[in-house]
């Protein structure tokens, strides 16, 4: 799927919309929730978890109406798409059609050129307009309302409603991917896929896949592992600790004997310049954050490399956490916050010599750890993280372009790669793009090179699967 403009729906877990002025359009996401958060349907009813879905489906005979990766959807005329019934499936849909806006008493014909986007949402809320398609928990697709009709003059979207749990099943993934591609093929003016915040969380958790339980923490990016002065920080240092960039789940942390990672809701509206899904750079930032964590995420033990913090998991001992503290300390507001949280003496030390961060003992049971938990919830500290991710992306773009990678999706993959391995480490894999042509082919060659030569490579293959849902296209050039 592709999404140029994501826009949030109501966030039932506490994370707030990025841009409230877009809210009415049900576009798509912003904050990336932790995997432990519950997914909710649009009636705010708790949806069955993935395991429950499997349990319910287990033992049921497979039918020929299912879309699978081996049997992809052929188009909107595929016989496996159940055609619209006389009335919409949801009662709320029926009422919405009956009570169409003034001037549109009933759905009106719509020309193919009038469809400009696809909207994907999780479940159904009473105020949602009727969806064109429903994907149920077994991956079956039902056409509830013809995409050739519009509810009102402003209706320019084909809407897809997905009944899902914490993750999508393989059948749902195949159905959603195939249906989105089919809509874009049948309606050539369709450029964007806009995903609700709840749906984006499900997509992110699905794409993340299984996490590696035991990783050798020695392999790191170029320039990492040595002290860095302010001029050497940035893309020269990678942040990859032993977990390959993921914040481990609570269960994974307990299994390793580590402290459970910390995460808190993010109110993006409190940031002066929060994520804007209409912006290429911010869509890439959201992709990186979906792989790493929220601005409030703390991994207390990144496989022996100390804590890793925030949107790009700035690592304490081998990465950029000292720089993050230094940059914050060198702003008037940031220094005051550090004084308030850690005390005047510690704040002064951090500002004078941020490298002391590498030797501090942060854990959730001591004052330093409690201070860190308070710090990541500060909007100014969150804004700094977002600004630094934006800067990383801008720095990564020329590096990507030197290998012929110019698309926004390709730059996104390279930026994510450099964040983890550092520029020097990433260069080991970027040369793979020089041997192929085509933007998607170049990105895929890089992802395969990482997969073939690093234990962390699965992440970048997953990136390739997430580009559409993140609103990143191989057809659009990244504009530095």
Residue 406, pLDDT above cutoff 50: yes
Residue 140: the pLDDT is 92
Lowest-confidence segment of 221-235, 239-253, 403-417 by average pLDDT: 221-235
Determine contact, residues 244/456, Cβ cutoff 8 Å. yes
For helices 280-292 and 458-466, the axis angle rounded to 10 degrees is 140
Residue 98, pLDDT above cutoff 70: no
- Alpha-carbon torsion angle 462, 191, 146, 139, nearest 10: 0
Residue 237: the pLDDT is 44
The mean per-residue pLDDT over the stretch 423-440 comes to 92
DSSP string covering 310-367: TTTTEETTTSSHHHHHHHHHTSHHHHHHHHHHH-HHHHHHHHH-GGGGGG----TTSH
Calculate the alpha carbon distances from 280 to 3, 410, 447, 459 in Å.
10, 12, 21, 21
Residue 357: the pLDDT is 95
pLDDT in tens, 284-304: 999 988 888 899 999 998 877
Q: Is 91 exposed, middle or buried (0-12, 13-18, 19+ CB in 10 A)?
A: exposed
Contacts of 212 (CB under 8 A, 6+ apart): 243, 244, 455
pLDDT in tens, 335-389: 999 999 999 999 999 999 999 999 999 999 999 999 999 999 999 999 999 999 9
Dihedral angle sign, alpha carbons of residues 152, 157, 163, 164: negative
Residue boundaries of the structural domains of the chain: 20-208, 212-480
pLDDT bin (cut points 50, 70, 90) of residue 204 is: low
Neighbouring CB atoms inside 10 A of 433's CB total 24
pLDDT in tens, 444-462: 999 999 988 887 778 888 8
Radius of gyration over every alpha carbon of the chain, rounded to an integer in angstroms: 23
Q: Among 244, 253, 239, which Cα is nearest to 392's?
A: 239
Residue 194: the pLDDT is 83
Residue 82: the pLDDT is 92
The mean per-residue pLDDT over the stretch 61-76 comes to 76
Residue 230: the pLDDT is 35
Lowest-confidence segment of 42-56, 254-268, 405-419 by average pLDDT: 42-56
Lowest-confidence segment of 96-110, 227-241, 414-428 by average pLDDT: 227-241
Between residues 251 and 333, the one the model is more confident about? 333
What is d(CA 131, CA 80) in angstroms, rounded to the nearest whole number?
A: 18
Residue 457: the pLDDT is 75
Share of the chain above pLDDT 90, in %: 45
Q: Does domain 20-208 match CATH 3.40.80?
A: yes
């Amino acid at each position: 799927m592709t999404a140029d403009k994501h826009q949030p729906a109501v966030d039932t877990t506490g994370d707030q919309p990025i841009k409230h002025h877009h809210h009415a359009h049900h576009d798509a996401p912003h904050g990336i929730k932790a995997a432990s958060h519950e997914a909710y349907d649009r009636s705010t009813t708790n949806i069955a978890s993935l395991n429950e879905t499997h349990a319910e489906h287990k033992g049921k005979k497979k039918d020929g109406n299912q879309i699978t990766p081996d049997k992809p959807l052929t188009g909107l005329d595929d016989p496996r798409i159940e055609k619209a019934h006389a009335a919409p499936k949801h009662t709320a849909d029926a009422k919405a059609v009956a009570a169409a806006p003034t001037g549109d008493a009933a759905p009106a014909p719509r020309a193919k050129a009038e469809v400009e986007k696809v909207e994907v949402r999780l479940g159904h809320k009473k105020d949602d307009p009727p969806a064109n398609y429903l994907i149920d928990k077994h991956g079956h697709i039902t056409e509830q309302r013809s995409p050739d009709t519009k509810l009102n003059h402003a209706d320019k979207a084909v809407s897809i409603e997905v009944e899902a749990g914490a993750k999508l099943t393989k059948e749902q993934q195949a159905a959603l991917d195939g249906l989105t591609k089919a809509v874009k093929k049948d309606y050539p003016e369709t450029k964007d896929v806009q995903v609700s915040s709840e749906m984006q969380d499900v997509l992110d958790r699905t794409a993340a896949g299984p996490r590696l339980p035991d990783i050798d923490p020695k392999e790191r990016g170029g320039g990492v592992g040595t002290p860095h002065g302010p001029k050497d920080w940035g893309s020269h240092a990678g942040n990859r600790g032993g977990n390959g960039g993921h914040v481990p789940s609570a269960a994974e942390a307990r299994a390793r004997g580590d402290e459970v990672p910390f995460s808190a809701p993010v109110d993006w509206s409190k940031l002066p310049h929060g994520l804007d899904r209409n912006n290429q750079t911010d869509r890439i930032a959201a992709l990186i954050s979906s792989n790493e964590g929220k601005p409030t995420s703390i991994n207390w033990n990144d496989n022996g490399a100390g804590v890793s913090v925030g949107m790009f998991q700035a690592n304490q001992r081998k990465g950029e956490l000292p720089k993050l503290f230094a940059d914050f300390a060198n702003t008037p507001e940031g220094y005051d916050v550090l004084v308030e949280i850690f005390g005047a003496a510690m704040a002064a030390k951090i500002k004078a010599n941020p490298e002391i961060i590498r030797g501090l003992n942060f854990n959730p049971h001591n004052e330093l750890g409690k201070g860190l938990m308070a710090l990541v919830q500060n909007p100014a500290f969150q804004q700094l993280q977002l600004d630094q991710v934006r800067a990383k992306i801008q720095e990564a773009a020329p590096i990507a372009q030197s290998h012929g990678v110019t698309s926004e999706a390709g730059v996104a993959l390279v930026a994510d790669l450099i964040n983890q391995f550092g520029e020097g480490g990433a260069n080991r894999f970027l040369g793979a793009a020089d041997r192929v042509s085509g933007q998607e082919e170049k990105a895929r060659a890089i992802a395969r090179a990482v997969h073939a030569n690093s234990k962390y490579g699965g992440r970048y293959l997953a990136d390739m699967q997430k580009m559409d849902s993140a609103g990143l296209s191989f057809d659009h050039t990244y504009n530095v």
